[in-house]
């Protein structure tokens, strides 16, 4: 079995082969399917969702963020903090971004909420992934931020639904990704082709 780092490197290399047109089309499709998922999660009512800003060759999520906002949902975006923890900032169309001091991502400027508050408020969590296998094992960017965030919500009375965001070919067969004790598996994946529900 390949290591997580080997899989992560291979998926990143594959992503670099996409054209700007393919990336833009993926963003539109992710927004369409993501809004549908959010409607199911929220029962059609306005709700809070945590999302992230996909950059470079990641699946583009800005169209999803904008579409969720247009549907009346509240959007929280992550900010990396020391100790591989996260805080959250509410997104609006006027939100500005700066480069993170701790991770290779752009982060929103604004009042920060703790992960505990964000987790309690959120109906659903859209989370980054470079790959997910059929067992729900997920490879993120390597920092462990989301695994720690989800671990902190594990004992919550009402844990938000989670969905990983990937390209279609980032969904791998069962057993492809080595699982570690601290990993937080997912049961759903948002891809440009639609929602993939895994067998857990």
Annotated binding site for substrate: 53, 58
Angle, helix 20-42 to helix 62-70, in steps of 10 degrees: 40
CA–CA gap between residue 179 and residue 137 (Å, rounded): 6
Residues tagged in the binding site annotation: 4-8, 53, 58, 138-146
Residues tagged in the binding site annotation for ATP: 4-8, 138-146
Other Cβ atoms closer than 10 A to 25: 14
Token pair recorded at residue 15: 């992503």
DSSP 71-133: TT-EEEEEEEEGGGEEEEEEE-TT--EEE-SSSSSEEE-S--EEHHHHHHHEEEEEEE-SEEE
Token pair recorded at residue 168: 């279609």
Token pair recorded at residue 93: 């169309």
What is the three-class DSSP state of 190? strand
């Amino acid at each position: 079995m390949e290591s997580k780092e080997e899989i992560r490197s291979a998926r990143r290399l594959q992503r670099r082969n996409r054209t700007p047109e393919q990336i833009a089309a993926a963003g539109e499709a992710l927004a369409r399917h993501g809004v549908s998922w959010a409607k199911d999660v929220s029962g059609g009512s306005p709700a809070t969702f945590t999302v992230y800003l996909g950059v470079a060759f990641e699946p583009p999520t800005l169209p999803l963020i904008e579409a969720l906002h247009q549907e009346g949902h509240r959007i929280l975006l992550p900010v990396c903090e020391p100790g591989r923890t996260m805080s959250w900032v509410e997104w609006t169309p006027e939100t500005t971004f700066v480069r993170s001091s701790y991770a290779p991502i752009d982060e929103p400027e604004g009042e920060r909420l703790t992960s505990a508050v964000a987790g309690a408020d959120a109906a659903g969590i859209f989370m980054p992934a470079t790959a997910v296998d059929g067992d729900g094992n997920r490879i993120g960017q390597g920092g462990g931020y989301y695994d720690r965030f989800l671990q902190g919500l594990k004992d919550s009375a009402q844990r938000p639904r989670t969905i990983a965001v990937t390209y279609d070919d980032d969904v791998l067969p069962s057993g492809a990704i080595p699982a570690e004790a601290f990993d937080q598996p997912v049961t759903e994946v948002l891809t440009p082709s639609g929602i993939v529900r895994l067998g857990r």
